[in-house]
Amino acid sequence: MSLTLDEFEEWFLAKTESELDSAKEDAYGLYEKLRAQTENLRSASSILLDESEESLKRETGGGKYRASRSAKRLARDIMGSLEGMSIPTSTSYNELKVLSNSLTGVISEIASARAEWENQTSPFFLLTMRRIRKEFDRLLELNKEMKEFVSKKYDKARRIEECVNMVGKIRELASEAEIIQRTERDAHQKVSETEKRIELTDKKLVDLEKTPVAIELQGIEEEGKKGNKALHSELEGLRRPLKKMAFLAKKGQLEMRPEATELLKRCEDGIDIHTIEDAGVKTFRILMETMKEALNSNRLSLKKDDRARVAKALNTILNERILEVELEKSQRDRERMANLLSSEEGNTYQKEKLDLKMEARKMEEKKKEELEELERIEKRLQERETEICVVKARIKENIFDLLGERIEIQ
């Protein structure tokens, strides 16, 4: 049988109303018995208090005086313990459980008071003490009856109440889930809006790179990257020798001038025209001369073919104008780029590009934060949905145990 939550609640209450009402009626009966019995014990204790106070007015010492003082303390302790117990006006399993525990605590307190003071009242106040013992014994029996009722007789009603409470729990969780779903939709909308802003910024950057200034700058950069192919090939061939030189220098097996050592550290993974330009041609030539000396003295161990290629590369770099030509070209490219960037159009291009990149970076950070928040929201929603499923499963199990019927809550 498949029911909506409202349909299930109506069906379930109709099925269990008489059972629950009967159990509650029995609970109210226990309340009345307990209320009457505690009043009987309180009344007996009040009589003992009056008798002991009257006796203390007459006695100034001796055994009866001490017995009267003990009787007064006992009466006050019993009345104080009873005063601390409250009988509820409504009934549920939780209220019954609290009341049962409270009654057990009161009985324990009274038993302790009796153990401390009762023997000291003898042989006086016999009739009143007999009545207190009688009323306390009845309270003990009522406590047993209460425990039996709570643990066994009210058990089915407890499970009915549990189902009713679980229906309320589902409604509470569903309400929370609905709020979270609205928050989730808002979070998705924020992410979508941020993504649109990112797309717009990216498009502006693409459009900016199509302007005449950007195209000219790109052309200069591309020319610089291409460089002199012959020089690039020769420099690439020096990658392995440079690594070997760095190794020898670290071991102290290769003497080098400080400036050449510093350049070598920068060139372990390869060298290009810009590195040479930054270090200076003179420093670069010192490094190449050092490599040539190491090669000729066999301190730079290379295979025969590799030695020939390195020797050829060094000869080209040291003896031909290939390096100077490339450096001159690089310098001209730098000057062209500097002139272009310093122009009004170049300044505008740089500012717009910087602003757009900063905007793009901010939007990406914002999107990251929004996605993290969305993930947290989705996790909370999943937790609520899981809790709802767990509660529904518990209701289903209870219904089968209580009524022998299988239901599904939509």
Read off the CATH number of the domain in which 83 is found: 1.20.120
pLDDT at position 131: 95
Are residues 224 and 334 located together in one domain of the fold? yes
Least confident of 17-26, 139-148, 272-281: 272-281
Are residues 23 and 118 located together in one domain of the fold? yes
Matching residue, tokens 């109709």: 14
| Spatial separation of the C-alpha atoms in residues 250 and 270, rounded to whole Å | 18
pLDDT(322) > 80? no
pLDDT at position 314: 82
Q: How far is CA 344 from CA 213, 305, 334, in A?
A: 10, 54, 18
Are residues 228 and 337 located together in one domain of the fold? yes
Is 104 within a domain?
yes
The pLDDT of 356-372, averaged and rounded, is: 94
pLDDT(329) > 80? no
DSSP assignment of 79-102: HHHHHT----SS--HHHHHHHHHH
- Residue-range definition of the domain harbouring residue 284: 212-355
| Spatial separation of the C-alpha atoms in residues 71 and 120, rounded to whole Å | 8
Torsion of CA 115, 120, 126, 131, to 10 degrees: -20
pLDDT at position 320: 64
pLDDT at position 374: 95
pLDDT above 70 as % of the chain: 95
Is 404 within a domain?
no
Are residues 117 and 244 located together in one domain of the fold? no
Angle, helices 126-148 vs 93-117, to 10°: value is 150
| Spatial separation of the C-alpha atoms in residues 247 and 244, rounded to whole Å | 5
| Spatial separation of the C-alpha atoms in residues 79 and 174, rounded to whole Å | 48
Is 185 within a domain?
no
Is 167 within a domain?
no
| Spatial separation of the C-alpha atoms in residues 96 and 87, rounded to whole Å | 9
Least confident of 35-39, 62-66, 92-96, 230-234: 230-234
Confidence of residue 227 (pLDDT cuts 50, 70, 90): low
pLDDT(86) > 80? yes
Are residues 223 and 339 located together in one domain of the fold? yes
| Spatial separation of the C-alpha atoms in residues 286 and 318, rounded to whole Å | 10
Give the total number of structural domains in the chain. 2
Confidence of residue 239 (pLDDT cuts 50, 70, 90): confident
Is 253 within a domain?
yes
- Could you count the other beta carbons within 10 Å of the beta carbon of residue 235? 23
Rg (CA), the chain: 48
Confidence of residue 224 (pLDDT cuts 50, 70, 90): low
Q: What is the pTM of this model?
A: 0.61
| Spatial separation of the C-alpha atoms in residues 56 and 129, rounded to whole Å | 17
- Could you count the other beta carbons within 10 Å of the beta carbon of residue 100? 19
Q: How far is CA 108 from CA 78, 153, 282, 289, in A?
A: 11, 24, 101, 102
Least confident of 13-22, 74-83, 181-190, 241-250: 241-250
Are residues 145 and 230 located together in one domain of the fold? no
For residues 231 and 71, the model is more confident at: 71
Closest CA to 118 of 128, 127, 129, 108: 129
CB 242 within 8 A of CB 264: yes
pLDDT(230) > 80? no
Secondary structure (3-state) at 227: coil
Q: Mean pLDDT in the chain? A: 88
pLDDT at position 268: 65
Last residue of a domain, one of 107, 134, 153: 153
Q: Which are the contacts of 8, defined by CB distance < 8 A and separation ≥ 6? A: 167, 395, 407, 409
pLDDT at position 371: 95
pLDDT(287) > 90? no
